[in-house]
């Protein structure tokens, strides 16, 4: 199954909200201050575009988790570089890169793996429901088409037009109207 545009956009929006929310929460917990709104919009827009491109069909849990790790890494860099004050100093003391603190790396990785598993479960449930709805819809359409085809092949019975009431013959007389009224053998045979 391939996803059409509305489904792709809905899936991309859900992924973007979860991914950007996880990044912002991580930065709020680590640095105490929120990221710059321009960097947040730019990062969120980039994640949304990439997620919409990748949302064309069902993705495996591994693909979802790897995509989430990649976007989290990029968002970490973007949000860390755009932060000012103590968060910028903390970012710079990490060497300007991903950071050398193993605790932070493990926290990021653990949160990303849990979130990736959660998104993969949602992905699996969504596609399961879509397949079920598609199967039920197909069955229902086949039944409707079968009924319509059967109705089209049956010829409707013609209803005879009734003569006006004053010309109608009563049922008992109608049967006897064309009947022979004599009884017995023919006259010539009797003589």
Collect all residues with Cβ–Cβ distance below 8 Å to 52 and sequence separation of at least 6. Answer: 8, 9, 12
Per DSSP, 166 falls in state G
Question: Domain for residue 168, yes or no?
Answer: no
Collect all residues with Cβ–Cβ distance below 8 Å to 137 and sequence separation of at least 6. Answer: none
pLDDT of residue 26: 78
Question: Domain for residue 46, yes or no?
Answer: yes
Single pTM value for the model? 0.59
Domain of 48 in residue numbering reads as 5-119
Token pair for 18 = 């979860």
How does pLDDT run along the chain (191 residues), one tens digit per residue? 677 888 888 889 999 999 898 888 877 776 656 778 888 899 999 999 999 998 888 888 899 999 999 998 888 888 777 765 454 445 444 444 444 467 777 777 888 899 989 999 988 898 889 889 989 999 999 999 888 888 777 666 666 677 677 766 666 555 555 666 666 666 676 55
Report the number of distinct structural domains present in the chain.
1
Q: Is 115 left (phi over 0), alpha (psi -120 to 50) or beta?
A: alpha
Question: Domain for residue 16, yes or no?
Answer: yes
Alpha-carbon span 54 to 101, nearest angstrom: 32
Question: Domain for residue 104, yes or no?
Answer: yes
Question: Domain for residue 159, yes or no?
Answer: no
């Amino acid at each position: 199954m391939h996803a059409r545009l509305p489904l792709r956009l809905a899936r991309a929006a859900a992924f973007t909200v979860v991914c950007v929310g996880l990044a912002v929460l991580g930065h709020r917990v680590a640095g105490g201050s929120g990221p710059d709104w321009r960097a947040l919009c730019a990062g969120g827009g980039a994640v949304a575009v990439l997620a919409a491109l990748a949302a064309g069909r069902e993705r495996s849990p591994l693909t979802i988790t790897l995509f989430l790790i990649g976007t989290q890494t990029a968002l970490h860099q973007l949000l860390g570089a755009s932060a000012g004050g103590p968060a910028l100093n903390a970012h710079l003391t990490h060497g300007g890169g991903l950071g050398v603190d193993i605790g932070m790396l493990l926290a990021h990785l653990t949160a990303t793996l849990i979130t990736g598993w959660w998104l993969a479960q949602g992905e699996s449930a969504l596609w399961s429901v879509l397949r079920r709805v598609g199967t039920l819809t197909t069955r229902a359409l086949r039944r409707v088409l079968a009924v319509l085809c059967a109705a089209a092949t049956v010829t409707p019975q013609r209803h005879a037009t009734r003569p006006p009431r004053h010309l109608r013959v009563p049922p008992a007389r109608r049967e006897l109207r064309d009947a022979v009224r004599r009884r017995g053998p023919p006259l010539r045979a009797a003589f």
